[in-house]
Amino acid sequence: MNFAQEQNQAVAALKRGDRATCLTALSRLADAPDTAAIAFAPLARLADAIGACGHARRFALRVLDRSSGQEPELLGLLDILVRNGGMSEARERAHSALERLPQSLGLNHFCGVIASQLGETEAAREHFDRVLSQAPLAAPAWVSFANLPGTGSEREIEALKQALSQAVRTPPENQAAMQSALGLWQHRADDRSAFDYWDRAAALMRSVRPYDRSREEAAVDALIASTPRAEMGWKPSTQTSTRPILVTSLPRSGSTLVEQILCSHSTVTDGAELNLFKHALMPIGGGVQPALAERFNAAHPDPWSMVGGFYLDMLDGRFGPEGRIVDKTLNFSRFLPWLEASLPEAPLIWMRRNPEAAALSCYRTWFPQGLNWSWSLEDIAHQFRLEDRLYEHWSTLYPDRILSVQYEDLVADADSWIARIAEHCGLAPEPQMSRFHETRRAVLTASVDQVRQPLYDKAVAGWKQYEVQMRPFSEAYRPA
C-alpha cells in the first residue's frame, strides 16, 4: 500500500465533499500495520473532521502509543479522543502524562474538566488549584472552578478579584471569562452585584465577537420561505431506524435535563451534543441551503438514505451498535427538513422554557465559542424571536414528529411528562427515569451539577430577582 497516496486521496476527497471516498481511504489506513511511514496525527484530525469517530480514536491512540509527544499535540489528541467517544482512554492517557509532567497547566486543566463532567468534585478542585496556584490569570480554570458545586467562599472570591485586578492587560476574552466567573459566585452569595459582572463580561465580548443580526435573520427568512410545506417532493429515505432520539432547544432550556432522564433508561446508551449530523450533510455541501439540497436530491438516486446512513454509521463508530442514543446537538432547529428527509422515524423532542429564565441563564453562562448573541440582552431577544419563528413553522409542518415539552411543566408534573417523553420515543417507562439524578455518566454542559440533583423549582422563577436588569431583554422580546 502506498500510504502517502492513500492519505492524499483522503484529503482530496474531503476537499470536494466526498465523504464516502474519504472514509474508504481512512479505513484502509486504519487497517494498515503500524509503521513510521504513516502520519497518524493528521489522520486523526482528518477522521475527526468527517465524524469517523472510531477511526479518529484509533489514529489518536496510535500516536499516543508511539510517544508521549509535545504538550500541545498531546492535548489536541486527547480532545479528539473525548469528542469521539474515548473519554476513558483520554483520561487514562492524561493521568499517565501527569506522572511525568505533574505541573502541566494544560494537563491539569484537562483532567479537572473531565473530573467535573463525571461529578468528581474534589478531584476537579485539586487539578484547578494546581493550575491557579501557578497561573492565577488562567481564565478558563477560573470559569471551570467557579462552576464546581461548593466553591465561591470569601477567600476564593477575594483571590479571583485580586487576579482580575492584575488581568487588565490580558485579552478581552480572558478578562470577560473572569468577570463571568465572579458574577456566578456573587449570584450564589445572593449578591445583586452579580449582574454588574455579567454586564462587564458581555461588553468585553461584544467588542471582539459581535452578533450579526441581519445575517441570522436572512438565514431564517430563507429557510422558512423555502420550506412552505411538509412534503418537499424529495426522494424518500429508506432509513427506518429509531435509534437516535433527537432533542433540540435554545441553550439553557432543559435539553440536558431531558437527556439525563432518557439516559437513565436501560435501553438508552448515552447522549451528548454530538454535532455529527453536519458531517452527514457533506455530500450536500455541509450546510443547510435549500438550493443545494434540491440539487443533491436531483443528482443522486437515493440521496437521503445516504445521508441517514452516514449519520447512523457515525453513531455506531461513536457508541457501538447497541442502544438508543440521545443527540441534543444545538441548532437542530435549522436542520429539520434534512432530518425529516433522511431520518423520518427518529423521534424529536423540542424543549421550551420561560423566555426570561432562559435569557438570564444564557447571559450569565460563559460560552467559550459561538453563541455571539449571548453577550447582549437585546441580541438574546432577537435570537429567541428567530427561534420562536422556527418553532412555530416546524410545529405546524411536523406536528406528529415533534413533542414539545415546557420545562416548567416538566418540573411541576415530572411523572406525567416523563411518561409522555418515553411514549414519544417508543420506550416503556422505567422507575429510574424519575431518579435520573442517580444516573452516573459524564455530563458535558453547564448543567452538569443541576442534573445530578432531584427536580427543584428554584430555577423556574429565579430570574425575577433580576427583573429590573432584565428589562432590556423583555422589552426587545415583546416590543410594544
Q: What is the CATH number of the domain that holds 415?
A: 3.40.50.300
For residue 221, being part of any structural domain is answered with yes
For residue 399, being part of any structural domain is answered with yes
C-alpha cell at 243: 435509534
Which of the four pLDDT bands, split at 50, 70 and 90, describes residue 444?
A: low
What's CA 40's distance to the chain center, in Å?
26
Which of the four pLDDT bands, split at 50, 70 and 90, describes residue 447?
A: low
Let me know whether 145 and 219 are in one domain: no
For residue 109, being part of any structural domain is answered with no
Rounded CA separation 428/231 (Å)? 31
Q: Is the pLDDT of residue 315 over 90?
A: yes
Q: Is the pLDDT of residue 446 over 80?
A: no
Q: Is the pLDDT of residue 389 over 90?
A: yes
For residue 113, being part of any structural domain is answered with no
Q: Give residues with Cβ within 8 angstroms of 129, minimum separation 6.
A: none
Let me know whether 138 and 258 are in one domain: no
Let me know whether 146 and 176 are in one domain: yes
Let me know whether 167 and 270 are in one domain: no
Let me know whether 234 and 96 are in one domain: no
DSSP state of 450: G
Tell me how far apart the 2 most distant CA atoms of the chain are, in Å.
Answer: 69
Number of domains in the chain: 3
Let me know whether 201 and 223 are in one domain: no
Give every strand in the sheet of 244-248, ordered side by side: 268-272, 324-327, 244-248, 348-352, 402-406
What is the predicted pLDDT for the residue at 68?
62
What is the predicted pLDDT for the residue at 39?
85
Which of the four pLDDT bands, split at 50, 70 and 90, describes residue 235?
A: very high
* Domain around 147: 123-208
Rounded CA separation 450/328 (Å)? 17
Lowest mean pLDDT among 1-5, 258-262, 329-333, 411-415: 1-5
Across the range 154-180, mean pLDDT stands at 96
Let me know whether 163 and 218 are in one domain: no
What is the predicted pLDDT for the residue at 212?
96
Let me know whether 354 and 269 are in one domain: yes
Lowest mean pLDDT among 255-264, 319-328, 400-409, 447-456: 447-456
For residue 186, being part of any structural domain is answered with yes
| Backbone region of residue 52 per phi and psi (left: phi > 0; alpha: psi in -120 to 50; beta: other values) | beta
Let me know whether 341 and 247 are in one domain: yes
Tens digit of pLDDT for each residue in 37-82? 788 999 999 999 999 999 999 999 999 988 766 788 899 999 999 9
Q: Which helix (H) or strand (E) holds 225?
A: helix 213-225
What phi, psi does 350 have (nearest 5°)?
A: -115, 110
The model carries a pTM of 0.92
For residue 112, being part of any structural domain is answered with no
Query: Reduced to 3 states, what is the DSSP secondary structure of residue 348?
Result: strand
Let me know whether 383 and 409 are in one domain: yes
Let me know whether 323 and 365 are in one domain: yes
For residue 118, being part of any structural domain is answered with no
What is the predicted pLDDT for the residue at 181?
97
Let me know whether 174 and 303 are in one domain: no
Does residue 325 contact residue 383 with C-beta atoms inside 8 Å?
no
What is the predicted pLDDT for the residue at 72?
84
Task: Mark which of 41, 68, 102 sits at the end of a domain.
Answer: 102
